[in-house]
Amino acid sequence: MDSFNVEKTNIKRPELLKILCILTFIFGGISLFSFLYISISYNFLGELSSELELNVTGLDIILSASRNFYILGTLLYVFVIAGAIKMWNLKKIGFHFYSISKLLLIALPLLFKISNLSIFNLLFTVIFILLYYKNLKFMT
């Protein structure tokens, strides 16, 4: 697939950018599929939980959010991955896709009144945005 191959243009992708993008592909991809799965199976999970009277740890937390929360989260993670692909290809627009999407993902639970702000997520988001920002000089 040529869209992932920047080496042909004789532009060397910095190692830090490679590492950041790979980590984003891994964790963003896992999150994307998790949010997508819950979006698709939300009603089924609710019915299963009530019919079987399941006390599965975490299921009540998952179901405390609306289906729209997971649909919006899925869409935002699509933009996170799209941003990482653009940055992998050394395009600055990817930084903007990534940064805005990640900041909206932090605000998403607050908007849906699900939980308080997660300091852990905020810290890692800020660190990744700053490290990606450091690599903007290599992007066009």
pLDDT digits (tens, 9 = 90+) for 3-35: 555 445 567 899 999 999 999 999 999 999 999
**Percentage of the chain modeled with pLDDT above 70:** 84
Structure-token match 């799209």, residue found: 82
Note the pTM of the prediction, 2 decimals: 0.83
The DSSP annotation for 75-129 comes to HHHHHHHHHHHHHHTT-THHHHHHHHHHHHHHHHHHHTT-S---HHHHHHHHHHH
Most confident residue range from 41-50, 53-62, 76-85, 111-120: 76-85
